[in-house]
Homo-oligomer: A and B are copies of this chain.
Amino acid sequence: VITRRAFLGAAGAAAASAWARSSRAAVPAATDLTVDAQKLRSRLERLSTFGRPAGGAFADGVSRVAYSDADVQGREYVIGLMKAAGLEPRIDPAGNIFGRRGGTGGSLPPILFGSHIDSVPSGGNFDGDLGSLSALGVLETLAASGTVTRHPLEMVVWAHEEGVAFGRALACSRIVAGDIKPGDLDEVWNGMRRADAIRRIGGDPDRILEARRPKGSLHCYIELHIEQGGNLEKAGLQVGIVEGIVAIDKYDAIVTGFANHAGTTPMADRHDALLAAAQLAVAVHDVVTSEPGRQVGTVGHLEIAPNAPNVIPGSAKMSIELRDLSPEKLRRLGDAVRARARDIAASTRTTIELKPASLAPPASASSDVQDAIGRATEARRWSTMRLPSGAGHDAQMMAQIAPMGMIFVPSVGGVSHSPKELTHWDDCARGANVLLGTVLEMDRV
């Protein structure tokens, strides 16, 4: 678990806390203020029209892939709302949209909070949108009540979070975290160079390095998001306090058998790559479910060749993805899958190569932010659970430069990345108010 001390240093943390104690009375309690739930809902509904399928309704979801016309229009809509709220929106060189409200604490670092509004193709209306529009609602609520925090407050709408366009490794929050390499801007997707894509949404690729924000320059980063899983709904709880974002170990399994005639080749003489791949997919499931815990394992991609009904498959390629907060557990599960692959290769007389495709480290949520979320929900008497995020988020990048925390609200049926994605309006409003309360709690820390 990462604490603020790790970011600010012992002296800085002590100074900030002393300041906090002396000025605690300046800011109202979280429960005194409430984000306008009706406004939040009507904005989510309006935002959903940018990228809505032709002739569709809210329930038909949205396709607002980053850098598309729908994305550009959705961003313009949000920028307009920010201006109307008296903010002066700033687009950083990476294309991320920021809106700032000053604090009373002199040079104290800002509290950053927000999410994204791009979507996967045929996605839902809550993933990203809720956190982005709630961040605006928080700033408006504070302004309306005349509340001024010690820390400057910044809302953000991150660009290209879903990674549909140039891949997740090129999400724009990553640039802010300092992860930008020469050549990244030359990636091409859909005939569009990444530099041009960034220009299209108002960014400035020539000054891309200026988008970076150094480690320690933020007081913390907070993101409200729908859970995208079914844990909260299943447990009948209202708010999730994210412990961290899981690590992901990805492998490509390459199975090599021997293609042969499906009619003339006796069962005992076969080297059936699909049979081996099928056994391996079953083994992945067995290994992952063989111990308690929240780890998940997925074979999502499988390709076989020659893929004809009357030919024994000669080769297969499949993805194996393992996720958990603990890299040690992932290593152990990976080793177990590897051992099973060896046995399967021997018994099917194929070869199976298990190539690590990528290993993403976990991102822990700061205990300070987790505790602040806990206090904000406790004040409202809302029920909570602590849980990991199985999905990646911009918060993962921010964890590299700031204490990070995430608030989850329930997803009906755990459905996400689908038009069927749904979070009840009450839960949306609850999430916005927890975000507001957490911002105020963190302002005091």
Q: Which 6 A-B pairs have the closest CB atoms?
A: A229-B264, A263-B390, A309-B319, A278-B278, A278-B281, A262-B298
- Looking at the complex, which one of B275, B319, B416 makes contact with A281 (CB distance below 8 Å)? B275
What's the Cα separation between A298 and B272 when bound, in Å? 9
Nearest CB in chain B: distance from A258 CB, A = 8
User: Is the pair A265, B418 in contact by a Cβ cutoff of 8 Å?
Assistant: no
User: Is the pair B282, A278 in contact by a Cβ cutoff of 8 Å?
Assistant: yes
Chain B contacts of A391 at CB under 8 A? 261, 263-264
User: Is the pair A302, B300 in contact by a Cβ cutoff of 8 Å?
Assistant: no
User: Is the pair A282, B274 in contact by a Cβ cutoff of 8 Å?
Assistant: no
User: Is the pair A269, B302 in contact by a Cβ cutoff of 8 Å?
Assistant: no
Q: Which of A259, A266, A300, A417 has the most chain B CB atoms inside 10 A of its CB?
A: A300
Tell me whether A85 is interfacial, beta carbon within 8 Å: no
Tell me whether A288 is interfacial, beta carbon within 8 Å: yes
What's the Cα separation between A312 and B389 when bound, in Å? 17
What's the Cα separation between A88 and B260 when bound, in Å? 38
User: Is the pair A310, B282 in contact by a Cβ cutoff of 8 Å?
Assistant: no
Q: List 10 A-B contacts (CB under 8 A).
A: A250-B309, A260-B417, A262-B321, A262-B390, A264-B389, A274-B302, A298-B309, A298-B310, A301-B309, A302-B302
User: Is the pair A282, B288 in contact by a Cβ cutoff of 8 Å?
Assistant: no
Nearest CB in chain B: distance from A290 CB, A = 11
Nearest CB in chain B: distance from A110 CB, A = 29
User: Is the pair A228, B274 in contact by a Cβ cutoff of 8 Å?
Assistant: no
Would you list which residues of chain A between 221 and 277 have a CB under 8 Å from chain B?
Answer: 227-231, 234, 246, 248, 250, 259-267, 269, 272, 274-275, 277
User: Is the pair A285, B289 in contact by a Cβ cutoff of 8 Å?
Assistant: no
Number of interface residues of A (CB under 8 A): 60
- Looking at the complex, which one of B274, B277, B323 makes contact with A263 (CB distance below 8 Å)? B323
Q: Which of A234, A246, A313 has the most chain B CB atoms inside 10 A of its CB?
A: A313
Which B residue sits closest to A297, measured CB to CB?
B267
- Looking at the complex, which one of B298, B311, B392 makes contact with A300 (CB distance below 8 Å)? B311
What's the Cα separation between A310 and B272 when bound, in Å? 26
Chain B contacts of A227 at CB under 8 A? 264
With A272-B285, A275-B281, A277-B278 known, 8 other A-B pairs at CB within 8 A are A228-B263, A229-B261, A262-B390, A263-B391, A265-B414, A267-B289, A279-B282, A300-B307
Tell me whether A415 is interfacial, beta carbon within 8 Å: yes
Tell me whether A13 is interfacial, beta carbon within 8 Å: no
What's the Cα separation between A418 and B306 when bound, in Å? 12
User: Is the pair A418, B264 in contact by a Cβ cutoff of 8 Å?
Assistant: no
Would you list which residues of chain A between 360 and 394 have a CB under 8 Å from chain B?
Answer: 389-392
Known: A281-B275, A307-B300. A230 touches B269 (CB 8 A): yes
Would you list which residues of chain A between 409 and 428 have a CB under 8 Å from chain B?
Answer: 411, 414-418
- Looking at the complex, which one of B266, B313, B321 makes contact with A231 (CB distance below 8 Å)? B266
Tell me whether A200 is interfacial, beta carbon within 8 Å: no
Would you list which residues of chain A between 184 and 240 have a CB under 8 Å from chain B?
Answer: 227-231, 234
User: Is the pair A228, B312 in contact by a Cβ cutoff of 8 Å?
Assistant: no
Would you list which residues of chain A between 389 and 445 have a CB under 8 Å from chain B?
Answer: 389-392, 411, 414-418
Nearest CB in chain B: distance from A72 CB, A = 25
What's the Cα separation between A378 and B301 when bound, in Å? 55
User: Is the pair B390, A259 in contact by a Cβ cutoff of 8 Å?
Assistant: no
Known: A266-B294, A298-B312, A309-B250. A414 touches B274 (CB 8 A): no
